[in-house]
Amino acid sequence: MPDGAPKKPSRIQMRNRSLILDAALDVFSAHGYRGATLDQIAEAAGLSKPNILYYFAGKEEIHVTLLSQLMETWLDPLVEMDADGDPMSELLAYVQRKLDMSRDLPRESRLFAVEILQGAPRMLPHLQTDLKPLFDDKCAVIQGWMEAGKLAQIDPRHLMFTIWSTTQHYADFDAQIQILSGDDPMQGARLHLETLFRRLLTPQTS
Amino acid sequence: MPDGAPKKPSRIQMRNRSLILDAALDVFSAHGYRGATLDQIAEAAGLSKPNILYYFAGKEEIHVTLLSQLMETWLDPLVEMDADGDPMSELLAYVQRKLDMSRDLPRESRLFAVEILQGAPRMLPHLQTDLKPLFDDKCAVIQGWMEAGKLAQIDPRHLMFTIWSTTQHYADFDAQIQILSGDDPMQGARLHLETLFRRLLTPQTS
DNA sequence: TCGTAGCTTTACCAATTGGTCAAAAAGCGA
DNA sequence: TCGCTTTTTGACCAATTGGTAAAGCTACGA
Residue A52: nearest nucleotide (C-alpha to C1'):
D8
Residues A17 and A47 in one domain: yes
Residue B13: nearest nucleotide (C-alpha to C1'):
C7
Say what the alpha-carbon torsion angle B149, B152, B158, B164 is, to the nearest 10 degrees. Answer: -100
Q: What is the CATH number of the domain that holds B161?
A: 1.10.357.10
Residues B79 and B22 in one domain: no
Residue A193: inside a domain: yes
The residue segments making up the domain with residue A27 are 9-56
pLDDT at B88 over 60: yes
Residues A75 and A30 in one domain: no
Residues A29 and A111 in one domain: no
Residue B1: inside a domain: no
Residues A16 and A85 in one domain: no
Cα A97 to chain centroid distance, Å, stands at 11
Helices (H), A80-155: 87-104, 106-117, 124-126, 132-147
Nucleic acid strand C within 7 Å of B45 CB: no
pLDDT tens track for A48-88: 999 999 999 999 999 999 999 999 999 999 999 999 999 99
Mean pLDDT of B35-45: 97
Residues A82 and A176 in one domain: yes
pLDDT tens track for A133-143: 999 999 999 99
Residues A13 and A80 in one domain: no
Residues B34 and B120 in one domain: no
Residue A4: inside a domain: no
Q: What is the CATH number of the domain that holds B27?
A: 1.10.10.60
pLDDT tens track for B95-146: 999 999 999 999 999 999 999 999 999 999 999 999 999 999 999 999 999 9
Mutate to test the interface with A, among B37, B124, B180, B202 (most CBs of A within 10 A): B180
Residues B52 and B69 in one domain: no
State the pLDDT confidence band at A5, using cuts at 50, 70 and 90.
very low
pLDDT at A2 over 70: no
Interchain CB distance below 8 Å, A114 and B117: yes
Residues A71 and A51 in one domain: no
Distance of alpha carbon A141 from alpha carbon A206, whole angstroms? 24
B117 torsion bin: left (phi>0), alpha (psi -120 to 50), beta (else)? alpha
How many separate domains does chain B show?
2
Distance of alpha carbon A129 from alpha carbon A119, whole angstroms? 17
Residues A114 and A88 in one domain: yes
Q: Which residues of B touch A110 (CB under 8 A)?
A: 117
Report chain A's C-alpha Rg in angstroms: 20
